[in-house]
Amino acid sequence: MLFNSLAFAVFLPIVFLVYWALPQKYRWIVLLVSSYYFYMSWNVKYVVLILFTTGVSYAGAVLIEKFKRKSVKRILLIGAVGASLLVLFFFKYFDFAQNTLIRVLQSFAIELHPVTLALMLPVGISFYTFQTLSYVIDVYKGEVKAERNFFKYAAFISFFPQLVAGPIERTKNLLPQIDCEHQFTYEKGSYGMKLMAWGFFKKLVIADNLAVFVDTVFEDVAEYHGFALVLAVLFFTLQIYCDFSGYSDIAIGTAKLFDIDLMTNFKSPYFSTSVKEFWRRWHISLSSWFRDYIYIPMGGNRVSRLRNMFNVLVTFTLSGLWHGAAFTYIVWGGLHGLMQCIENLLFPKKKKVPVQEASGRRNLGSDSQKAKAEGTIKGETEVKIKVKTEDEMIESRGLIWWLKVAVVFCLVAGAWCFFRAGSCGQALYIFAHMTDGLRQPLAYLSAGIHAFDTRALKQMIFPVLLLAVYDYAALDNDPILVIGRLPAPARKAVYYGFLLMVLLLASFNSQEFVYFQF
């Protein structure tokens, strides 16, 4: 059941009405039943997999909490994590691993006949598997208590807004909300609907329309050269962002209709001034997952520079592999790890410096110098002392800032080429031929533009500009709240104009979200 489908347009209002019509103690049951119905609408057979992964992680966590001996806890952790990863490997990576092994053996003149498995990749398996893994690991660390009610835990794992493409929620955030006291408010419901509308705009108006241009080129790249290839890469850079962040917006907005808060998954990532910052803004739930459960346990940055570089490369290579069972994804992840290693060498981590936020007259005596980070000093005036790294401070958005943003955007776009390409050879072809004809700049640009439907391209200019303005404004404020505070005539003009643009430009040929394949 796609978010951008008629079925979901019927499903959501029914669940919403039933949820709020029932007493509080029964509402989590509505979430459980509706979530499993939502998942079974894809393929009834694969409900067995989510039940298995849920059951293994549930039992593992309960047993881990029950036993006191560290060695027993560790065995139970390995068993629960291993069982979940085995299911993920079998359905997602078996063919890739088998084919890779066959190629390696063939290079040594050893023949191995492949085992053919006609298996579909269960939708959302990477997302809910990582959610169960983080739960078990957190219970093992003693950071959360094991949930004793299996069905409430199942509702947490299968919560339908974020089930198939995230955000990958943490236990501390989502599980307590499944069965806590909820109260519907107009403000929260209205905000959720507006966020959903913005997500549908990004998906239907930008991502799905750009997908037509992108697919045309990547289905037969040998037929294109020069600026057409550049445009295809840039279009995919926007498509993947609008497609995935659009899903996240719809998921977060849908959850708010049930008075449930999901974590933010995107924060204007294409306005990043470093690749490291990009990953603090892109797919935050996944990047923070790899940080907490892979990077930091490996030593993080508390080790030698060489070991830290190794940790970064391993973490991002695994992140690439998480996205898909192909060398293109591994190269994509490795490139992001490599770019961050180079950044760390060229721009070493800056020292933490105090940043003062004061109101009224400043009274910074010796006591203030001893203040702790995030502390508040009370006297004649109130002064907050915060400790931030210099790169976390509000940077002047002048020419240098824009140049950094442009460079990082180009680097990220270049890496996306491997992500979208059908093979590494196809990606290398694009890089080799995207400058064809550049010696004649005007002809180069004209030929690239006219390789596509120019009328359709012109229709995309305003939506993309609107996206850029929205994301830039979101660096400092929440545009939805800002618009909501406008005078009624201006606010209505914005809403009606937005609705008209969606109706005129939206692509209503339902396409799956890109991240459903992961």
Residue 164, classified by CB atoms within 10 Å of its CB into exposed (0-12), middle (13-18) or buried (19+), is buried
Report the distance separating Cα 326 and Cα 92, nearest Å.
10
Report the distance separating Cα 516 and Cα 323, nearest Å.
10
Q: How many CB atoms lie within 10 A of CB 200?
A: 18
DSSP percent split of the chain into helix, strand, coil, nearest 5: 70, 5, 30
**Known active-site residue 323:** yes
Report the distance separating Cα 413 and Cα 419, nearest Å.
10
Report the distance separating Cα 361 and Cα 502, nearest Å.
50
Radius of gyration of the chain (CA): 25
Report the distance separating Cα 450 and Cα 48, nearest Å.
50
Q: Say which of 225, 283, 323, 336 is annotated catalytic.
A: 323
Residues 6+ apart with CB under 8 A from 155: 28, 29, 31, 32, 35, 178
Which of these, 327, 330, 332, 515, lies nearest to 423 by C-alpha position? 327
8 Å CB contact between 247 and 515:
yes
Q: Which helix (H) or strand (E) holds 317?
A: helix 305-323
Residues designated as active site: 323
